[in-house]
Amino acid sequence: MIQYLSNLDNKRILILCAILLIPAFFLNLDLRVFIEDESLRALVALEMMYSDNYIAPTLNGSYYYYKPPLYNWILTIFYRVFGPGELASRIPTVIFTLGLSWIIYSFNKKYLEKQIALFTALAFLTCGRILFWDSFLGLIDIFYSLVIYTMMMSIYHFGKKEKWTHLYLSIYLLTATGYMLKGFPSFLFLGFTLLAFCVVFKKWKHLIRPIHFISITLMFGLIGLYYWLYSFYHNPIENFEPLLDQSTRRTVVRYDWMAMFKHILTYPFENLYHFLPWSLFGILLIRKDILTVLKSNDFVWFSSLTFLSNILVYWISPEVYARYVLMLAPLVFSIQFFLYQRNDDSWRIKALSLLMKATVLCLPILCLYLLFNPGVEHVSYGLTLVVAVFIGLALLAITYFINPKQRVLILVAMCLLIRIAFNGVIHTDRHQRDFAQTAKLEAIRIGEKYKGKNIELYKSGKIDYTSSFYIARTRGEITYRKQKDFEKDNFYFLDTVRWSFPEWKHELVDSFQVRENKNMIYVIQKTE
C-alpha cells in the first residue's frame, strides 16, 4: 500500500479529483431551502415566466430595479427544463463554477507553466469560499465573476498580441454582459484593468484608436437597446437611481470614516479566512525583492496590478462580501503559485510547508468531528459517509507525506472529500434544524389553499422572498400588491410589521410564519 501511494502520479490524482468533483458539487445540491438572495433571483425569474415579460423585471408585480435581467433569463431557461426550484437555480452555478475554473486554466497555461495554470484553477475550485458557500447557491456572482475575469484576461491576451480590434470588441461586449448582470461595477472593473494593462505595457496611445470608440459606442448601444425595449413597459429613467444605489450602498459613500478605517484593518484577514487553504501561500509574498520578482513576468505583473487596482474599491468599502471579489482570487492564486514554483528554499517555503502539513493533519480530525454533529443521525448513510471520508483523508494524508511531488493535488483531493462530507452531514443537519424549512412548508400550504382564488398583498406589505416564491410557484401565478380599491370576498396577505389591520370590515381566515424575523403574516378577507 505504501509503495503504491508513493508512486501516485499527477494523472492518477487528477482522475481521483475528477471523480470526487461529481459528489462534491452535486450531492444534496437541492436539499436546503433558498436563502433570501436566492429567493429574490428565483422570484423575479418566476414572475417573468408567468407574465411573459422578460424585459421589465417585477417583484410581486411591482417593477424591480436593483438588477438588470440577464441572470433571470438564464434561470428561466433552467426552470423550463427542470421546473422552478432549488435544483434549477443551483445547477447554473455549478456549471459556471466549473466553466470559470476551465477559463482560469486556459488563460494561465498560455503565459505560465501548465502546472501553475492547473494549480491556479484547482485552487479556485477548492478554496473555502467556493466549496462551502458560493458553489451551491443560486446567485449571480459566479457567472458575473466568469464574465469579468474573462474580460480581464482578454485585455492581456489580445493586448499583448496587439490585436486591438479583438481586444476592444471583446472587452466591451463582456462589459455590456456584466452590466446586464450587476450594473455599474462592471465599468470600474473595465477601467481599472485597462489602466493596469497600460502601466505594464506602456500602450497608452492605443486607447485613442478609432476601434476603441466604436466599441464603446457598441457597448452603450446594446445597453441602450435594452432600455429602449424597457421603455415600452415602464420609464427607464426610474431604473438608474435604484441601480446606482445598489452599487454604492456598501461602499464608503454610505459609511463614516471610522467604519472605513476598521474595515481597512480587517479586510485582508477576512479574505485570508475565506480563501483558505490556498491563502496560506500568501506567505510567499513576504520578501524584500517582491516587486522585482513580480515584474520578471509581465503576466504576473499585470495580474498583480489588476488585483491591486480593483481590490482597492472593496478594501475601502465597509460591508462587502467575499463573493463580490471572486474574479480577483485567480489573479492572486496565479501569483502565489508562480512564486511557489520557484522553490527558492527560503524560510517562506519552509514555513508554508509546515502550514500545509498542519492543514493536512487537521482535515481528518475535522472529519471525525462530524461524528458528533447531529446531522449524522439525520442521514441514513451519515456514519458510513463520515467513516469513508475519514479513511480517504487518512490515506491521502499518508500520501502527502511520502509523495512530496504531488502535494498540491493531494490537498485538492482532500478539500473535495471534505466538501462531500459537508454535503452529506452539515447540509442535512442545517436542513433539519432550519426554520426556513418550516416556513417553506407553510408557504406551500398557503399556496395550495388559495390556488385559483383572488389573493394579493395588502398595500406595500412584504412577505419575505422565500415564502413569496413558494406561494407563487404553488399557485402558478404572481402574487400582486394591492394598493387600493379592495374588493369584497377577495383575500389579502397582511404584513402587520408594516401595516395595521384595515378599518374596513374583514375576517381573519388564516395565518402563517415567514423566515424573516419569524414574522407572522395574516390572511384576511374583505366581508363588505
Residue 300: pLDDT over 90: yes
What distance in Å separates the CA atoms of residue 426 and residue 423, rounded to the nearest whole number?
Answer: 6
In sequence order, which residues have a C-beta less than 8 Å from that of residue 485 and are 6 or more positions away? none
For residue 423, CA distances in Å to 135, 162, 260, 275, 415 come to 12, 46, 36, 19, 12
**324-368: per-residue pLDDT in tens?**
999 999 999 999 999 998 877 788 999 999 999 999 999 998 888
Q: Nearest CA to 521 among 470, 452, 453?
A: 470
CB distance 434 to 33 below 8 Å: yes
CB distance 174 to 279 below 8 Å: no
Domains of the chain: which residue ranges?
32-342, 347-433, 438-526
Cell numbers for 158: 489580445
Cell numbers for 156: 492581456
Residue-wise DSSP of 219-247: HHHHHHHHHHHHTTTS-THHHHHHHHHHH
In sequence order, which residues have a C-beta less than 8 Å from that of residue 357 and are 6 or more positions away? 400, 401
Average pLDDT, the chain: 90
Average pLDDT over residues 380-386: 80
What is the amino acid identity at position 467?
A: S
What distance in Å separates the CA atoms of residue 47 and residue 446, rounded to the nearest whole number?
Answer: 18
What distance in Å separates the CA atoms of residue 508 and residue 491, rounded to the nearest whole number?
Answer: 10
In sequence order, which residues have a C-beta less than 8 Å from that of residue 307 and are 6 or more positions away? 328, 331, 332, 335
Phi, then psi, of 495 in degrees rounded to 5: -95, 100
* Residue 277, preceding peptide bond in cis (omega within 30° of 0): yes
Return the pLDDT at 115.
93
Return the pLDDT at 528.
75
Return the pLDDT at 514.
92
What is the amino acid identity at position 341?
A: Q
Average pLDDT over residues 108-115: 95
Return the pLDDT at 250.
58
The reply to whether CATH 3.40.190 applies to domain 438-526 is yes
What distance in Å separates the CA atoms of residue 273 and residue 271, rounded to the nearest whole number?
Answer: 5
In sequence order, the β-bridge partners of residue 526 are: 506
% residues pLDDT > 70 (the chain): 96
Return the pLDDT at 20.
96
